[in-house]
Structure 1
């Protein structure tokens, strides 16, 4: 079987099943792809196909997402620290010694924890709406930060983010009219199916609440950027109203030598700008030492 064919695999980390997609020759440079809310490794399906000829790609589903385990909140402490711990366990199990990170949305606080703890193992960073600066937060976050301070008073409003309307909005908002036809409807329908599972609402509410503690890590992430100067590629939708373009520009402060591309796209830029992003990554990865 060709290395170009995507494999759909499951590992067991700390007793939990972690689903992941893998393609490409493991002898080639590895790119670890970390998804965000409310998605899964499915968001990388086309990028994996586009890059598998020259790269080794691994894309896990976080616990509570996609095809990975979804223990109830009474049995697993849903936090970004714990999602990171599981991801680190998968990395160890797969023997990934050195790898680049592609971080999107929730994948950013997970990936940047890994990178700042293991700077010698991370060869590069690719960020697509992967925030590391307070400048990246838009008014979209007002209700979420209010929820972090008072869960009961704001839960009803936050629950609106679990609706099909909200999920479709994440995919279509900020997308130029001529590119809307590039978005596969099953992408948001699959995400919605994940959100609609019994008990998943409690999982997502807990992670929304825990998100506030990611900001405590920003100084360490930014110190990692300044100290270790990881090669950086930014491929960010400039029309993203979840993590705004100011969050992309903020990376220039600490990584001024990075390569920056603000695309005419929204939050899920890979759906509409796959060709551009895959070409940027291919050229970027080939320039790495």
Structure 2
């Protein structure tokens, strides 16, 4: 820990701000003015997924993790565009509201594509990437994508109902456990699916079903994400949990096609490494950011 980092700075703060009439919840840790690590969350989660990581890095970096509209403790306003472009625009507006001009991005799950859309839009704002189980290569998607791929091929009402059935408490549980070995599953708290399911109402559930059903449109963006990486070559750390039915080991290795200089670490974990492998992830991120994202 650096000498001027006091206890108050490394503790996570829970904050709200008004963004064009929308009440936004976000978590913040670290000193204002320190290099920023922006933490967009995945599905079916919220900024809660970063609660343990943030204080472990807050002595040297300024960490910001918002809840997206329709997720966590943020409002679910009418008129918001609940798709990846809408979330990317939100992230852009949110960071500008906080005066965050340049930052490293943590890319995980849905947050990967949302963050990369922001990076494509504003490449000069991206200092570095930390990629953790975020998929942008269609040819290496895992077997758990088969149901969605079937829907994309034949979008019937019956196939859509299968998506709707997965937006449930049991479906959330499956998303968080996601094929990790039993001894690792014991490290994943039921608080994750219990909390996030308790925050769902019928409107949020419909939004989630619509977003998942339209993922084919996001997959069509995959070549654009890859092009951004090839063109800009941002310093990149890849920490990957291969025990992931959606994004197995080959999904992580695929990034090296476009980022041959990226640092890749395959850990003994799955999709939610911050729950199961935090003590391994933290020193990897600290070492990487110390080299590529300092004041």
Fold equivalence (TM over 0.5) = yes
Matched, 1:154 2:159: yes
Shift of residue 238, structure 1, vs aligned partner: 0.4
1:120 to 118, 124, 134: 124
> Distance in 1 between the 2:55 and 2:111 partners?
20
The aligned residue for residue 7 of structure 1 is: 13
The aligned residue for residue 239 of structure 2 is: 235
Q: Secondary structure at the match of 2:65?
A: strand
Q: Secondary structure at the match of 2:123?
A: coil
Q: Secondary structure at the match of 1:63?
A: coil
Matched, 1:104 2:113: no
Shift of residue 112, structure 1, vs aligned partner: 0.3
The aligned residue for residue 23 of structure 1 is: 29
> Distance in 2 between the 1:31 and 1:210 partners?
29
Identify unmatched segments of 5+ residues in structure 2. Answer: 1-6
Shift of residue 192, structure 1, vs aligned partner: 1.8
The aligned residue for residue 36 of structure 1 is: 42
The aligned residue for residue 86 of structure 1 is: 90
2:174 to 169, 175, 190: 169
Q: Secondary structure at the match of 1:2?
A: helix
Matched, 1:49 2:51: no
> Distance in 1 between the 2:183 and 2:278 partners?
15
Q: Is the 8 A contact 1:22 1:59 kept in 2?
A: yes
Matched, 1:138 2:142: yes
> Distance in 2 between the 1:136 and 1:189 partners?
31
1:192 to 194, 197, 201: 197
Count residues with an aligned counterpart: 286
Matched, 1:71 2:71: no
Q: Is the 8 A contact 2:230 2:259 kept in 1?
A: yes
Q: Is the 8 A contact 2:10 2:56 kept in 1?
A: no
> Distance in 2 between the 1:205 and 1:270 partners?
26
Shift of residue 259, structure 1, vs aligned partner: 0.7
Shift of residue 274, structure 1, vs aligned partner: 0.6
Identify unmatched segments of 5+ residues in structure 1. Answer: none
Note the 1:264-275 alignment, pairs <5 A. Answer: 264-275=268-279
Measured against aligned partners, the alpha-carbon deviations of 1:152-195 in whole angstroms (never above 9, x if no partner) come to: 23122112322222222222233333333322221221122133
Shift of residue 264, structure 1, vs aligned partner: 1.5
TM-score, normalised on structure 2?
0.91
Task: Mark the CA change 1:8 to 1:216 in structure 2 (over 3 Å): closer, same or farther.
Answer: same
Aligned residues: CA RMSD: 1.7
TM-score, normalised on structure 1?
0.93
Q: Is the 8 A contact 1:236 1:245 kept in 2?
A: yes
Q: Is the 8 A contact 1:128 1:235 kept in 2?
A: yes
Task: Mark the CA change 1:117 to 1:76 in structure 2 (over 3 Å): closer, same or farther.
Answer: closer
> Distance in 1 between the 2:159 and 2:99 partners?
43
> Distance in 1 between the 2:206 and 2:170 partners?
19
